[in-house]
Structure 1
Amino acid sequence: MKKLKQIIANVKSADEDTEGYNDLLWQLICYSPKMPLRLQQQQLLDDAERFTLQACDEHFTHTNLNFNGFKWGSGARKIFITHGWGSKAADFIDLITALRDIPNTTIITYDVPGNGSSEGELSNGALFMEAVKAVIAEYGTPDVLIGHSIGAMANVMALNAVGAVPNLLVSITPLMRLKENFEISMNAVGVPAEKQLAYFDGFAALVGNPASFYDTDKFYKFDDGLKHLLLYDEADTVSPFVFMKAFIDTRPFISTLNHTGAGHAGILKSPRAVADIVAEVRQALNGINA
């Protein structure tokens, strides 16, 4: 968090005409703050079997980056969890603890490159997607796939990329529109409109697609054949409900739960949200290799 604060300070104090201003914006957008583990989180990870996989960093280092994963149990029923931005595997401590009570399961989660304990200075949605794909390649299609924020978006992208369909997809305050999320971040620190446009031009040149391309609505190719639970907070300012509503209104087959006041990240600690997810997971796993 200290580094992020310094990046924000640098952006605010920089002359907009200074060479390298756009580089500061890349750091602002793509640096994921790394929070230290709490004692209970460390204890949870100490109880896990650890593994390391690789994800291709196509845009920043142009190398394969190692990322760390954690596995609890060895049951036939597989549950994968993808964290969100500025987060890490251990931030699902409440949910993982509750899910471990379900018999015959294997629970797998991971720190995406550039996040938590994994390699990488910067991160982006592509690295999130590549991490999910790597875990599926290593451990197979999960029976349940859970994601938070950009992790929920990455789950959808990865499932499309590998042609996999879980028995249950759980999206927790999913990020819906990447470009608008970037704009929120830049507006918060006073980046002028013309500099934002320059950044988006640079983004499109580097990534090969405009930021507006990364819209969950465009990637979502599933129908009622996929059981999907989506939890949201209608007061969410990170992933605004107006975008969520536009998404779910056209997909009435998605089960939705509004947890108003839980917060974009705080929902992970909500006992009611955890209970709702666990109940849905139990139902989805009922009869599968029980």
Structure 2
Amino acid sequence: MRFPADAPSAGRSVVLQLRVRRFACRNSECTCRTFVEQIPGLTRRHGQRTERLRATPASVGLALAGRAGARLAPALGVCVSRSTVLRLVDALPEPEVPAPRVVGVCCEYATRKGRHYGTVLVDVEARRPVDLLPDREGSSPAAWLADQPGVEVVCRDRTPFFAEGTTAGAPQAVQVADRWHLWHNLSEATEQSVAQHRRCLRALVPTVPVPAPEAVPAADSHGSPRPRGHRFADRTRDRHAAVHAPLTAGHSRRSVQRQLGMTYRTVKQLAGAAMPEELFTGQWQNRPSVLDDYKPYLDDRWSEGCTNAWKL
């Protein structure tokens, strides 16, 4: 008697009771002494599930992989772990894939990031992978392409070992660049060209008369080191006014701290200053810089297209 689990019916689990025959082997040298009869399409050797029940989590695993497939399987009436889902997917037979005509060998995958990389071979016309190579050496694509005489076009990037492997394995195939690398190379060339001719582009921009700005005093009557409109100075003035307004109304500093969401030290510092200009310390002064003597040279280099800070 065998009791394989079957797919659920109307929300109830189903267990079959099968009476099968058991055969004995008379060969004393055989490792298996008995053999149990299998029913085609229903049972298999050492199987605890029917073929129909195996197909359900295997299909879910193909779509969602292990963890997500194991979470969805109970909704279908099947309780399996993620390891079982992956094992059922791994036991599926390899699908019959027709020989590709256009192969892409420009994709890579990492078995260990920064250490070990392999190559993905893609059927460009069907838009699906066809094989995984264990490394990025030119000999691996060459050996694979040599076994595929029907390959007519090889789509690759500018990597030297891909070019060598393609030439050795499929000399009859036409080698082309894929769409992504074409756009990537075009964007890089355009960016470099624009950076090298920035002065020419700037000369083509029509000059529009700009109205003269209103004269703003460099410092107000309270001795502010920055004119109105400086973002740090304006922010300090706003915070100073926001703290002094409730203090004038009779609120305590702790109350102002809770209302404005500031630390007590910040409220104390702003409350202790009668005017916001007293808080303008040396970090806003026009201190000399070690780059002052070289700023014209740096501006010229930047205009010529050198935008790398390390090179500058």
Q: TM-score, normalised by structure 1?
A: 0.25
TM-score (norm 2): 0.23
Report which structure shows greater RCO (CA 8 Å, sep ≥6).
1
